[in-house]
Amino acid sequence: MNERKVLTPAQRRALLSTPAGWLACGFGSGLAPVAQGTFGSLAALVPWLLLRECSLPINLLVIAVGFAIGVWACDVAGRALEVDDHRSLVWDEFIGQWIALLPALVAPWWSVVLGFVLFRLFDVWKPWPIRYLDRHLKGGLGVMVDDVVAGIFAAGLGVLALALQA
């Protein structure tokens, strides 16, 4: 099955009927008709508003646990869809977006927009090593890792932009 193929109604129902599928598709945000990654990244902002109120160690713990659960959920959902990284699987956007927004924990609100845009840029552009990881890692780990690196790149560039602004 091609990763660009639209899900059938039966596949959509099956995806939403299991905890792994529900999580992997970002609580349904990955079922948007277009721009699933962007919709997943936007949906990630809702729980991030709660994370923003927590300390950096709590954020890092949530990201680490979310990553581990995401590897499992995206692997299970990908196998059910018979595709390693179907575009409807957007839990990786949640984790990558939360990483990209780490600098915004101690920065002005405009840094949230910066983190969002930078993450989407790196996630779509996929410079090395993101593209390499995206193409060579399979299963749930492959779904998750490229977005983690995109989030790290976005956070790093965000820190640099904030430092230059200060």
Question: What are the pLDDT digits (tens) for 120-142?
Answer: 999 999 999 999 999 999 999 99
CA gap 79, 74 in Å, rounded: 8
Domain spans, the chain:
28-165
CA gap 120, 32 in Å, rounded: 16
User: Are 93 and 124 contacting, i.e. CB atoms less than 8 angstroms apart?
Assistant: no
Share of the chain above pLDDT 90, in %: 89
Is cis: bond before 108, omega within 30 of 0? Answer: no
User: Are 140 and 70 contacting, i.e. CB atoms less than 8 angstroms apart?
Assistant: yes
Residues in CB range of 66: below 8 A, 6 or more apart: 91, 94, 95, 98
Confidence of residue 165 (pLDDT cuts 50, 70, 90): confident
Q: What is the pLDDT of residues 71-130, one digit of tens each?
A: 999 999 999 998 889 999 999 999 999 999 999 999 999 999 999 999 999 999 999 999
